[in-house]
C-alpha cells in the first residue's frame, strides 16, 4: 500500500453538493461545498426533488473545482468515496451514481460511507491526535446518537432519539415562532438576547435514549396560547432544556463506559450554547471534549472522504451494484 493515499469523496445526502480531496484521511487539500440553502429558503425547508435536480447540475463543476484547488488530477486519485445513506434517496443517488462512474472510468476502488460515520470523522480532520476509543454525541437535523467509537470502523449505539432529532426540533420550533429556515442558527442567535425563564419539559428514559417531540409540542402549545411570548426568552429556554437532555445522557454514558474522550459531531454541534455547556462538562468530569471546526459540522465531503479512507484501510470496498439506502443505520 502506498504511504501517501489521495482520496476523492462525494457528499450529496441532502442539500449540499460537496466534493473533497484529502491526503491520508486527515489532511484536507480541498473541500468544495455548493449550498442550496438560498434555493430552499422560500419553501421553509428542503424540497427533495429540487435538491436532486440541483445536485445533478452542480456535481461536475464542484468536482472540477475540488481537483483544481487541490492541485491534483484524476490520475493522482487513489480511491473514490461517497455517501450512500442515510439521506434523501434522490439526492443520494446523484452522488452514488457519479462516484460509481468515476470509479469505473478511473479503475479506482469505490468506498461506500455512512453519513453518520462521516460526521464522526470530521473530528479526525480537526484533531490530528484523536484516535479511538472515544464517545461521540452525533446531533444533527436527522440524528441524535450517543455512539461508542471502538475503532475507526467499529461503532456501538448506546442511545438514540425515539422520535424527532434535536436538529429537527430546532427547525420546527423556529418555524413555530416565525424564524426563517434554517432555524437552528436563528434560534442560537436570538437566544443570546433572552433569558431561560420559561419552564419546558425535559424527557428522560431509564436508558440513554432521547426524545424531543415533547419539548417541541410544549413550545407549540405555549406559543399558540400566547403569541406575545418573548421569542428570545423562549429560544433561550428551549436551548437550555434540550441541552440538559443531551448533558444528562452524555454524563450517564461516560459513567457507564469509563471513556475520557468525548467528541461532538453534526450540524447542531455548531450551536454556541451547546459548546459552552459541554466545555463546562469537560471541566466538571475531567474529560477531553472535541468539537469539529465549524465548517466541518454541517454536511461536507471532507468528513466523508476521511471516513472513506479508514474504511479503505479496513478493506471495505464497494461493488458496482452499490445503491443508496435512505434509512441506513450505524452500528448494526
Domains of the chain (ranges, CATH numbers): 6-121+297-313 (3.30.420.40), 132-292 (3.30.420.40)
**What cell was used for 167?**
436538529
Phi, psi of 283 (to 5 degrees): -75, -40
Alpha-carbon torsion angle 74, 77, 78, 81, nearest 10? -100
Residues listed for the chain: 332
Per-residue pLDDT at 224? 94
6, 88 Cβ separation under 8 angstroms: no
Burial status of residue 271 (CB atoms within 10 A of its CB: 0-12, 13-18, 19 or more): buried
Q: What is the pLDDT of residues 110-142, one digit of tens each?
A: 999 999 999 999 999 999 999 999 999 999 988
Portion of the chain with pLDDT greater than 70, in percent:
99
Confidence of residue 1 (pLDDT cuts 50, 70, 90): very low
Per-residue pLDDT at 332? 57
Q: Count Cα neighbours of 68 within 13 Å in the Cβ-side half-sphere.
A: 7
pTM for the predicted model, two decimal places: 0.95
Q: What is the largest CA-CA distance in the chain?
A: 65
Portion of the chain with pLDDT greater than 90, in percent:
93
Q: What is the pLDDT of residues 157-209, one digit of tens each?
A: 999 999 999 999 999 999 999 998 889 999 999 999 999 999 999 999 999 99
318, 38 Cβ separation under 8 angstroms: no
Report the distance separating Cα 227 and Cα 232, nearest Å: 13
What letters, b where the CB count within 10 A reaches 16 and e where it falls short, cover 237-266?
A: bbbbbbbebbbebbebbbeeeebebbbbbb
Report the distance separating Cα 316 and Cα 98, nearest Å: 19
146, 208 Cβ separation under 8 angstroms: yes
Distances (CA, A) of 160 to 37, 121, 228: 27, 19, 34
Provide mean pLDDT across the span 45-51: 90
Q: What is the pLDDT of residues 290-315, one digit of tens each?
A: 999 999 999 999 999 999 999 999 99
Parallel, antiparallel, or unpaired for β 79-85 and 134-139?
unpaired
Q: Name the residue among 58, 60, 84, 70 with its Cα closest to residue 30.
A: 70
Q: What is the mean pLDDT of the chain?
A: 96
Per-residue pLDDT at 182? 87
pLDDT of residue 36 exceeding 90: no
Amino acid at each position: 500500500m502506498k504511504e501517501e493515499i489521495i482520496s476523492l469523496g462525494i457528499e450529496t445526502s441532502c442539500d449540499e453538493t460537496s466534493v473533497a480531496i484529502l491526503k491520508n484521511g486527515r489532511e484536507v487539500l480541498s473541500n468544495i461545498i455548493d449550498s442550496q440553502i438560498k434555493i430552499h429558503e422560500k419553501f421553509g425547508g428542503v424540497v427533495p426533488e429540487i435538491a436532486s435536480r440541483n445536485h445533478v447540475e452542480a456535481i461536475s463543476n464542484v468536482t472540477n473545482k475540488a481537483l483544481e484547488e487541490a492541485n491534483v488530477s484524476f490520475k493522482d486519485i487513489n480511491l473514490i468515496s461517497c455517501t450512500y445513506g442515510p439521506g434523501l434517496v434522490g439526492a443520494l443517488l446523484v452522488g452514488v451514481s457519479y462516484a460509481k462512474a468515476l470509479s469505473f472510468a478511473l479503475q479506482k476502488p469505490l468506498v461506500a460511507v455512512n453519513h453518520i460515520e462521516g460526521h464522526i470523522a470530521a473530528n479526525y480532520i480537526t484533531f490530528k491526535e484523536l484516535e479511538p476509543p472515544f464517545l461521540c454525541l452525533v446531533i444533527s437535523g436527522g440524528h441524535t446518537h450517543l455512539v461508542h467509537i471502538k475503532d475507526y470502523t467499529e461503532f456501538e449505539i448506546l442511545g438514540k432519539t425515539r422520535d424527532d432529532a434535536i436538529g429537527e426540533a430546532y427547525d420546527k420550533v423556529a418555524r413555530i415562532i416565525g424564524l426563517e429556515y434554517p432555524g437552528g442558527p436563528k434560534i442560537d442567535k436570538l437566544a443570546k438576547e433572552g433569558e431561560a425563564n420559561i419552564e419546558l419539559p425535559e424527557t428522560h428514559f431509564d436508558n440513554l435514549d432521547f426524545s424531543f417531540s415533547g419539548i417541541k409540542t410544549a413550545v407549540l402549545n405555549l406559543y399558540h396560547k400566547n403569541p406575545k411570548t418573548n421569542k428570545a426568552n423562549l429560544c433561550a429556554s428551549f436551548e437550555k432544556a434540550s441541552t440538559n437532555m443531551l448533558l444528562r445522557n452524555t454524563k450517564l454514558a461516560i459513567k457507564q463506559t469509563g471513556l475520557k474522550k468525548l467528541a461532538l459531531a453534526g450540524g447542531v454541534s455548531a450551536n454556541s450554547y451547546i459548546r459552552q455547556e459541554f466545555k463546562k462538562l469537560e471541566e466538571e468530569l475531567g474529560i477531553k471534549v472535541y468539537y469539529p471546526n465549524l465548517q466541518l459540522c454541517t454536511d461536507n465531503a471532507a468528513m466523508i472522504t476521511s471516513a472513506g479512507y479508514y474504511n479503505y484501510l479496513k478493506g471495505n470496498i464497494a461493488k458496482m451494484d452499490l445503491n443508496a439506502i435512505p434509512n441506513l443505520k450505524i452500528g448494526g
